[in-house]
Amino acid sequence: MNKPKPDLSVRIGGLVMQNPVMTASGTFGYGPEFARLMDLNRLGAIVVKGISLKPTQGNPTPRLVEVPGGLLNAIGLQNPGFDGFVRDYLPFLRHYRAPVIVNIWGHTINEYASIAERFNDLPGVHGLELNISCPNIKHGGIAFGTDPKMARRVITAVRARTRLPLITKLSPNVTVIAEFARIAEACGSDAVSLINSFPAMAIDIEARRPILANITGGLTGPAIHTIALKMVWETARAVKIPVIGMGGITSAREALAFIIAGASAVAVGTANFSEPLSTLAVIKGIEAYLVRHRLPSIRALVGTLETGAVIPKPRGPGRPCA
């Protein structure tokens, strides 16, 4: 007799996903880049590269360098802008059943709020990911993600203008990431995703010059996984909204670690560059794990970490959003 397949579906705010595996923004383009190699409908959700109101050229080259266990990038959020995305990519994405989450960013609170509003009632867009954590742009980006007051203001402004499920993407470049997760929760975010890349740099010692044209960049890949895991664990204990874990997932093993630590869903990033089918392998591996551990659903695994010790929860409820 065939055993029933485990239920992989998860819910993030109002968004229902058939499985917990998403693509991390900036590592999967806008979808068509990978569609010739895989069926995008098998993904939990497609998170597209960050979109701003106006087209953005990004940084000069070199923009990318491989470092031990990771990747350093300073692309600078190059994107076709809202109009370009709607014209060039959205019609393509509408052919798929997988929910589409648009990562948005701006230089000012007004820009964030304006772009968020423009995605209301746009068929084919199922959620927004608020990028307040990109280390590679000079103004905006990470400045909103590392200052609690700024974070509160930008999340509140965006929440007021969007009717879509809202995920706030957090920066790891803070002392206590859970504090920012609580701000996101208090200000109406439906979920938090973490982590974005770590500010980092690499130097060509022969030339005595930075390898990246932008001098510094963001570190991603296996090197950051265990740091991300600790941050996801701390965050999941501090908020009631779903947590989406990301950072150095190359196989189901890291994805499952995030889920056990408390993440309701995960995103695969840098691994898409070396193994374009990584997301599918992660989905398959998660399913096999649930079967092997006789778990009826992925939800039964979320936050099941046994520490064998009584660890006090992080301090009480966050301050109300003002």
- Residues of this chain that interact with other proteins (CB under 8 A) are 26-29, 33-34, 36-37, 49, 57-58, 61-66, 68-71, 73, 75, 78, 221-222, 270-277
**Backbone dihedral angles phi then psi of residue 204, each to the nearest 5 degrees:** -85, 105
Q: Based on CB atoms, which residue is closest to other proteins, 71 or 130?
A: 71
Query: Could you tell me the smallest distance in angstroms from the CB atom of residue 250 to other proteins?
Result: 8
Starting at the earlier edge strand, list the strands of the sheet with 191-194. Answer: 21-23, 265-268, 243-246, 191-194, 166-169, 127-131, 100-104, 46-51
SS3 for 315?
coil
Q: Based on CB atoms, which residue is closest to other proteins, 184 or 211?
A: 211
Q: What is the DSSP letter of 249?
A: -
Q: Based on CB atoms, which residue is closest to other proteins, 34 or 119?
A: 34
Query: Could you tell me the smallest distance in angstroms from the CB atom of residue 65 to other proteins?
Result: 7
**Residues 170, 234: contact at Cβ < 8 Å?**
no
Query: Could you tell me the smallest distance in angstroms from the CB atom of residue 315 to other proteins?
Result: 37
Alpha-carbon distance of 279 to 267, in angstroms, equals 8
Q: Which of 101, 134, 255, 259 is catalytic?
A: 134
Query: How do the residues of the chain divide into helix, strand and coil, expressed in percent and rounded to 5?
Result: 35, 20, 45
Q: Based on CB atoms, which residue is closest to other proteins, 218 or 262?
A: 218
Query: Could you tell me the smallest distance in angstroms from the CB atom of residue 306 to other proteins?
Result: 30
Q: Identify whether 321 is a catalytic site residue.
A: no
Q: Based on CB atoms, which residue is closest to other proteins, 58 or 314?
A: 58
Query: Could you tell me the smallest distance in angstroms from the CB atom of residue 245 to other proteins?
Result: 19
277-307 burial code (b ≥16 CB/10 A, e <16): ebbbbbbebbbebbeeeeeeebbebbeeeee
Q: And the tokens for 239?
A: 């908020």
- Report the catalytic residues: 134
